[in-house]
């Protein structure tokens, strides 16, 4: 996970498999990301807390186990 201005980049890596399309860029238009980004799982959800100059964003994604 890294940020550059208003962009948050998430990359997934595997030592066992060759992953395709394993990157995601989230753009927070008009507001730079500030230090303090958190990512964790809770109750089957992937949770991202992203502080920007304008707000604190919470993104919740349901995890599907394969």
What does the pLDDT look like over 1-54, one tens digit per residue?
Answer: 899 999 999 998 888 988 888 899 999 999 999 999 999 999 999 999 999 999
Predicted confidence at residue 49, as pLDDT, reads: 97
SS3 call for 47: strand
Predicted confidence at residue 64, as pLDDT, reads: 84
Tokens of 23: 């990157």
Predicted confidence at residue 17, as pLDDT, reads: 86
- Using CA atoms, how far residue 35 sits from 4, 47, 57, in Å, is 11, 17, 13
Predicted confidence at residue 20, as pLDDT, reads: 87
Q: Report which of 35, 34, 38 is spatially closest to residue 59, judged by C-alpha positions.
A: 38
Predicted confidence at residue 23, as pLDDT, reads: 93
């Amino acid at each position: 996970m890294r940020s550059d201005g208003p962009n948050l980049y998430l990359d997934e890596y595997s030592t066992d498999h060759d992953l395709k399309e394993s990157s995601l860029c989230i753009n927070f238009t008009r507001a730079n990301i500030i230090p303090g980004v958190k990512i964790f799982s809770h109750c089957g959800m992937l949770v991202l807390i992203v502080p920007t100059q304008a707000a604190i964003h919470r993104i919740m994604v349901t995890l599907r186990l394969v």
